[in-house]
Amino acid sequence: MQISGHGRAHELATLLLGTQEVDRPSQAKAKASGSPQDQVDISQHAKEMARIKSLTQQSDPARAERVEQIRQAVDGGTYNVNGKTAADALIRHVLIEAAL
């Protein structure tokens, strides 16, 4: 996110970092019309993160059903975990993540 800055913080950044004021076409129009406008630019990374977040918040009926089955098995004391199967799944997950 980029917010155009004015005021003490902007002046301090200019002094410390040696940044220069650059007029963008949208700023030039606002200055020419006499009515300043605020502008916010959202990066592609932030847009992608928002898209991924919305995907994770969508419900998956099959997953919800499987989670409920496991919850009932745990509550009933009938859920058994095979250590070898769990270890294999963890190793497979790590290897797949490392390949990405």
Using alpha carbons, select from 26, 21, 24, 23 the residue that is nearest to residue 10. 21
pLDDT band at 22 (very low <50, low <70, confident <90, very high): low
pTM for this predicted structure: 0.36
User: What tens digit of pLDDT does each residue of 53-74 get?
Assistant: 998 888 889 999 999 999 999 9
Q: Which two tokens stand for residue 29?
A: 């129009």
Amino acid 76: pLDDT: 94
Q: Is 34 left (phi over 0), alpha (psi -120 to 50) or beta?
A: left
Residue by residue, DSSP assigns 16-67 as HH-------HHHHHHHHHT-----EE--HHHHHHHHHHHHHTS--HHHHHHH
Residue pair 5/39 in contact by the 8 Å Cβ criterion: no
